[in-house]
Structure 1
């Protein structure tokens, strides 16, 4: 028996995942929670510390790029999260793993394939589709995006919040007010962000963030 949260804004696909979960657990009665936007997912994860798995769609209300995955991994690093997405681009799959996903299941897989993938993750294994095998040599573009993803994953939740406010064009004084911290604290966070991302300016940091946290960063 497993306790699983399904996060997807399409009711029909949530139902399909329910069926696949039943197959994965040999018909055992699972506890299945559902949410259709990122705020609902975050609330349910916070209220259910005994979750065995989160199945997360990358493209849903309240999410830009990998922002939902990163927020959940930062706030609840102990909860396995599997991305379930219509996107099958190899680079996107590898970036999701770099951001901490325990697996990546394309929505194009059949019911029994999805069930087998879910079971493998519940058994503690990493699942990615065959065309995105992690031992294949990435392209130069994939290497660059993966390097940025790994650096972004080192930011703390507060540093991510500061970076998102910088991306909105807000000055340090306003960022300090919104986060209820001293302006010197904001400056310290920015210094740490630039160091971790290996960039030299706020503009470069924003460009790095847009690589993975804009609606255009995930191919359709």
Structure 2
């Protein structure tokens, strides 16, 4: 009887600890969106000639982070720099999409992107047992996407950019599935996971808007 009560107490403690960790994940998720929003606001004052160099800095930062173990020690600093810089650059991008698509289509596509994020999160958390084997394939695809994006800065080929957009969208949808699955298995730190989910949703929104903008032409 005492063993059963102890086991129940341990289960309750574990459940509370897990819920607390999940709560912190979503707090960090919202926090990074706020940082992004601040960067986006100040993006309206960013001179045009600064955008391309900042884009190179952003891609270089991502590339260094994903291939260097040492960069993980500075994850807190890098995540803040990333959220601010991507916010600064996103103002012009979102403004162009809003003008080209119109407010109604623009916001409908954002809702579609959020719905896809939630759907893949549900699949990863509730329907997939263990998605850990996906990690290495997603990582290789991410490196290839970063390199292709760097090349894309010098190539003005619509088909090439459409392929990058489709691959990027699928990649971050699968990363969402993968990250929610990691949460279920308890293999995460709240700050890192909150940042990952922020990045996933941001890229899904951007790629969906990019596709909508391309097919509208």
Same fold (TM over 0.5): no
- TM-score class, shorter: under 0.3
Considering only CA atoms, is the larger Rg found in Structure 1 or Structure 2?
A: 2
Give 1 or 2: higher strand fraction. Answer: 1
Give 1 or 2: higher helix fraction. Answer: 2
Normalised by the size of structure 1, how large is the TM-score?
Answer: 0.21
